[in-house]
Structure 1
Amino acid sequence: MRPVLLSIDVGTHSLRSAFVSLEGHVLAHNEEPLLIWKTASTMEFCSKNIWEALVTGVNRLIAEHPLNQEDIIGIGIDTTYSLVLLNQQMQPVHLPGSNRADTFGWMDSRASQQAATIAREHPGLFGHAGPGINARSNCCKLLWLFQCAPETWQAATCILDLYDYATWKLTACLTRTPDSTSHIFTQKAAAQLNIDIEGRFKGESLEMGAAIGDGLCQSAADQLNLKQGTPVATGIVDAYGGTLATILASNHPDRQQPLDCITKRVSFIGGTSSNYVAFSRDMLTCDGADGPYPSVLEGYSLIYARQTAAGAFIDHIITSHPAYSSIYDIAVSLGIGVHEYLNQILYELADNDRSEYADSVSKLTAHLHILPYFDAPEVDQPQRGMITGLTLDKSHQSLAVLYLASIQALALDARYQLEKLTKAGYHIELFIPTGGLAKNQRLLTEHINILNIPAAVPEERENMLLSGAITAAVAAGIYDSIEEAMRAMSRYHERIEPERQLVDFYQAKYDIFINMLKDQQSWE
């Protein structure tokens, strides 16, 4: 078999592992579920469960697609923005009230009071974290732990970003990258907040894509049935990894894009939450966005516009509707997903519509409008969700139209956020989607039309799995740099233009969206 790279992607609800070719093709992949404990303000994981899912997934992948140990020449990993607590013996430190969870999930917002205090009393304390600070920031979570759970804080003598934890399990080496929490929560910041972080951020500082130590350690090699010493790359957060897997994609195999093209593109990483990532040569700030941060591409910075609940928001709308149970049963009987079945209902509704809106699925929501802020812990964004246009209808069709309005609400919010980036000096001419949500053709269509910019659809359907493969290829010496690996491994095969005949309709929807937002702000 030809040489392959092992890519591992740790998401919110599952862990995926894949064999990826040196050219960036996902040859085979496996998915394992993860334990998660979630309330309105908390999200917790178990690091042991994550590692066990990784071991199980890789072993199943190898069992289903046998190859020689020598064929796997590099390992790379990306994870969610989560934080693991360990003691002096490198054993889990459980979060308050739990006997299993030891990891703050990325969506955990219990530190809202700490975020408000930092924003009010220490603006700009965390460098490139933007003008404000998010309650989900690891810095805020650590301050909460220090102030509200002192016994847990004292026990947690080693604190690791989840991707640094995973690479430690793989290599027995503690490492950090420029994106790790330790590089943001500086001694200066700790001193101003009167918090003791001395010694809690352990590990050698390495660049993204660097090979760690002597590679795969003996213990991990035995558990994974892989070769000891296989190069392992430093970890990366998933939104950043997904961006690197797409932002420089070309549709001309023999013609490379100039690197500067990334300043005219936005990467859409769609999942339980969504990120819109833009690049610039200057460190341009933007209210409500996270960043800018220096990027691995020398001379360029990147910034994140975030939707903290995207897939989670759509799922909430769907599952709370009276018709959900029967919709789910029908979708299962047809062997398709609920979203796909709802898309089918929408097409049928548009075909049977004899009103003035019969020319487009999108216009089925002409009288239904939503603000998608069902989950908004940001200090400077106190908005909440809103729906106008509800009826007593409990049918499958009413759920389908509500689902469509939810998709449009996310796209309208994306337009609102990207317009703020444009005013801040960013230039966006091409939309590049990736992640689970981006596989939904209806969602993708609504984004393209509402943003009114073309999209470049990646050639590799599972392109989030290219994230770990890109860093693994650099660690293994296949490519000399992240940029070179990106150029060699990422492509797009289709460019989709907006439907120009719907511009007026979407402008009207956007005007209503902005008016709803302003109304709610005035009520505050």
Structure 2
Amino acid sequence: MKQSLLVAVDVGTGSARAGVLTPQGALLGRAEMPIAMNRTDANHAEHDSEDIWSAVCAAVREAIALAKADPADVVGLSFDATCSLVVRDANGAPLTVSTNGLARWDTIVWLDHRALAEAEECTATGHEVLKYAGGVMSPEMEVPKLMWLKRHMPDTWARAGQIFDLADFLSWKATGSLARSQSTLVCKWTYLGHVAAPWRRDFLATVGLEDLFEHAALPEAASEVGADLGPLTADAAAQLGLTTACHVGAGLIDAHAGALGVLGTFAGDVDTIDRHLALIAGTSSCVMALSAEDRPTPGVWGPYFGAVLPGVWLNEGGQSATGALLDHIIKWHGAGGEPVPAMHRRIAARIMELRAIEGQNFALRLHVLPDFHGNRSPLGDPHALGVISGLTLDSDFDSLCRLYWRTAVAIALGVRHILETLNTRGYAIDTLHVTGGHTKNPLLMELYADATGCTVVEPAAQDATLLGMAMVAATAAGLYPSLDQACMAMHQGGTERNPDPSARPRFDKDYAIFLEMLRQRQIIDAMS
């Protein structure tokens, strides 16, 4: 008997990735295709949604080929994507969101900050919806972007008939369904999934979006993550290289898919799921904490109901630049250069040598605040700046290694700051599940354990985000009766690293200095 197969698609900022997986969670084939981005201004970034769809189709076809799979065996498909905003007319044709006026650029990228002023206006309303967005509206969310679009591109707004989060757009391209995932609506559209009347139209009217439903084709109710949105259309099946027997599940925002891939195994024990934190770490870092009840936490997005698992609350924090910050340190330092993987490995190896020689005195008086691109959590301050204390005239390679090490320490202490803030709100986090590019950096993986005092789990899955989306696809295809059961059945386990007890005093002192530097920065900012 042939085995049923699943296809998972993960669309990031620069590429679309596809994987073919078994119902047990094994990855059989994986492919990646680049996607284009248009920058007309420092705060503007746009995608071409048709380019994204083409990249998705190419990645799926290649993954199928690499897996040596029969397309007829694929019974489930799901999409995750960045929280980017796709604008179409009533007939589904693209509408420009770019100041260059080209219709192909119909998608405002998640990282686009053109709507800073609109985000501040939303925050100033003090509306109830802000209680479920960390108390502050971010320009990365969709409501400020929609406000900007209506004000600055009235022709596009007037013609708009369908507006999607990117993951929902991909589901629409695949099935023709206008359904929207609870993951996208709760996290980015101020949809309150835990109440009987989830859309707060009074808030939308207050910020000038009283006509949003006329232009966005939004449903009154969101679809639970993993809900069956129907089979592929004939056109979509042909483009993807699949068949119309394949069903599509309501997807997620990309980081949330990673959280599902590493935390889904605890779905059957929601009362203790709050001991576990997902850390999706690469260029930037997202931290995801799940709980059985809502836990509002200032400076942390959420609490979001049903954004990852139906019936479960999510708090989402993050660090705006982590891998990108280490790259910057290498480029910035006179002994650095291009931050290619070989350079990171060379620095890590030399740090190990220097630490073996100098022990805990290595870079003892060098301290860093890692907020070079603002502080997303737990301060929620996009204007925060980085700080380095303890510089000398040294400019050789070893001085780069010292600065790199202390920057890595600061990144780990930033995670500790977030999780300790969450723990004041009822969490009891003692385990970090780390996925993403940081798993390839031995210094960071050591520090995530030692600097936080937590057990660190590195998933065995080759790609935890694709695994999470395969869980969604399996649910939509009916291979499991619920998303909870799919998660528990498909989990791949992982390797644990326990913190070194002898390192605790050193990092406790570093953390005390970290907090004092935050206080001193606040004083200096007030003085200046």
Corresponding residue for residue 192 of structure 1: 206
Corresponding residue for residue 141 of structure 2: 137
The 1:21/1:505 distance shift into structure 2, 3 A limit, reads same
User: Following TM superposition, by how much is the alpha carbon of 1:12 offset from its aligned partner in structure 2, in angstroms?
Assistant: 1.8
Give the 5 Å matches for 1:65-76: 65-76=67-78
**Which one-letter code corresponds to 1:3 in the other structure?**
S
**Which one-letter code corresponds to 2:132 in the other structure?**
H
Secondary structure (helix, strand or coil) at the match of 2:287 reads strand
Q: May I ask how many residue pairs the two structures share in their alignment?
A: 504
Corresponding residue for residue 228 of structure 2: 211
**Which one-letter code corresponds to 1:349 in the other structure?**
L
> Does 264-273 or 284-293 show the bigger shift?
264-273
**C-alpha separation between the residues in 2 aligned to 1:323 and 1:13?**
29
**Which one-letter code corresponds to 1:61 in the other structure?**
A
Corresponding residue for residue 167 of structure 1: 171
CA contact (8 A) 1:158 1:202 kept: yes
Corresponding residue for residue 284 of structure 1: 295
**What are structure 2's unaligned runs of at least 5 residues?**
192-198
Equivalent of residue 109 in structure 1, options 106, 110, 113: 113
> Does 89-98 or 220-229 show the bigger shift?
89-98
- Deviation string, structure 1 residues 434-457 (Cα, Å, up to 9, x no partner): 223234332121111111111222
Corresponding residue for residue 194 of structure 2: none
Secondary structure (helix, strand or coil) at the match of 2:215 reads coil
CA contact (8 A) 2:131 2:296 kept: no
Give the 5 Å matches for 1:244-263: 244-249=260-265, 258-263=269-274
**Which one-letter code corresponds to 2:46 in the other structure?**
E
Secondary structure (helix, strand or coil) at the match of 1:370 reads strand
User: Following TM superposition, by how much is the alpha carbon of 1:314 offset from its aligned partner in structure 2, in angstroms?
Assistant: 2.7
Secondary structure (helix, strand or coil) at the match of 1:245 reads helix
Give the 5 Å matches for 1:426-505: 426-505=427-506
**Which one-letter code corresponds to 1:147 in the other structure?**
R
CA contact (8 A) 2:268 2:484 kept: no
1:364 aligns with 2:375: no
**C-alpha separation between the residues in 2 aligned to 1:159 and 1:57?**
25
User: Following TM superposition, by how much is the alpha carbon of 1:423 offset from its aligned partner in structure 2, in angstroms?
Assistant: 1.2
- Deviation string, structure 1 residues 24-82 (Cα, Å, up to 9, x no partner): 12122112222234564333322122112112212222333322122212111111121
User: Following TM superposition, by how much is the alpha carbon of 1:209 offset from its aligned partner in structure 2, in angstroms?
Assistant: 0.5
The 1:260/1:491 distance shift into structure 2, 3 A limit, reads farther
User: Following TM superposition, by how much is the alpha carbon of 1:133 offset from its aligned partner in structure 2, in angstroms?
Assistant: 1.9
**C-alpha separation between the residues in 1 aligned to 2:347 and 2:415?**
22
> Does 192-201 or 419-428 show the bigger shift?
192-201
Q: CA RMSD in A?
A: 2.4
**C-alpha separation between the residues in 2 aligned to 1:65 and 1:25?**
11
CA contact (8 A) 2:270 2:291 kept: no
Corresponding residue for residue 300 of structure 1: 312
- Deviation string, structure 1 residues 334-361 (Cα, Å, up to 9, x no partner): xx5443333223223334x3xxxx236x
CA contact (8 A) 1:248 1:259 kept: no
Give the 5 Å matches for 1:370-409: 370-376=368-374, 381=381, 382-409=383-410
CA contact (8 A) 1:81 1:106 kept: yes
**What are structure 1's unaligned runs of at least 5 residues?**
251-255, 329-335
**Which one-letter code corresponds to 1:134 in the other structure?**
S
**Which one-letter code corresponds to 1:209 in the other structure?**
G
Corresponding residue for residue 269 of structure 1: 280
User: Following TM superposition, by how much is the alpha carbon of 1:3 offset from its aligned partner in structure 2, in angstroms?
Assistant: 2.6
Secondary structure (helix, strand or coil) at the match of 2:183 reads coil
Secondary structure (helix, strand or coil) at the match of 1:175 reads coil
Identity of aligned residues (%): 31
- TM-score by structure 2 length? 0.89
User: Following TM superposition, by how much is the alpha carbon of 1:392 offset from its aligned partner in structure 2, in angstroms?
Assistant: 4.0
**C-alpha separation between the residues in 2 aligned to 1:28 and 1:472?**
16
CA contact (8 A) 1:77 1:235 kept: yes
The 1:225/1:41 distance shift into structure 2, 3 A limit, reads same
- TM-score by structure 1 length? 0.89
**C-alpha separation between the residues in 2 aligned to 1:518 and 1:31?**
44
Secondary structure (helix, strand or coil) at the match of 2:216 reads coil
The 1:249/1:410 distance shift into structure 2, 3 A limit, reads same
User: Following TM superposition, by how much is the alpha carbon of 1:201 offset from its aligned partner in structure 2, in angstroms?
Assistant: 2.7
**C-alpha separation between the residues in 1 aligned to 2:443 and 2:23?**
32
User: Following TM superposition, by how much is the alpha carbon of 1:137 offset from its aligned partner in structure 2, in angstroms?
Assistant: 1.6
Secondary structure (helix, strand or coil) at the match of 2:98 reads coil
